[in-house]
Amino acid sequence: MLLIYHGIINKKNMSKSKISMEEIMEVIREHGVAVVEQVDLAVLEVDGNISVMSHEFKQKTTKKKKAHKAISKNV
């Protein structure tokens, strides 16, 4: 699920995926980017990880989503 595209946060998708601004900012900082505007792409992967690509580093980093937000398949 697309969370950030060309420095613009997709708040609708963040809400759907239950990702807070604090969590996305933490992931961005861990990637070494100071501001959201420098992020080309941030995606919530199907395994719950968040991948970030920035134009500064031209590389992808991935952060595992916190366990308390994991979706249970036993419904």
pLDDT digits (tens, 9 = 90+) for 32-68: 888 999 999 999 999 989 999 987 655 555 555 554 4
pLDDT for residue 72: 42
How far is Cα 66 from Cα 54, in angstroms, rounded to an integer? 22
Write out the H or E segment, with its range, that includes residue 39: strand 39-44
What are the b/e assignments for 17-33, b being 16+ CB within 10 Å? bebeeebbeebbeebeb
pLDDT score, position 74 = 47
Tokens at residue 10, please? 């997709």
pTM over 0.85: no
Question: pLDDT tens digits for 13-26?
Answer: 999 999 999 999 99
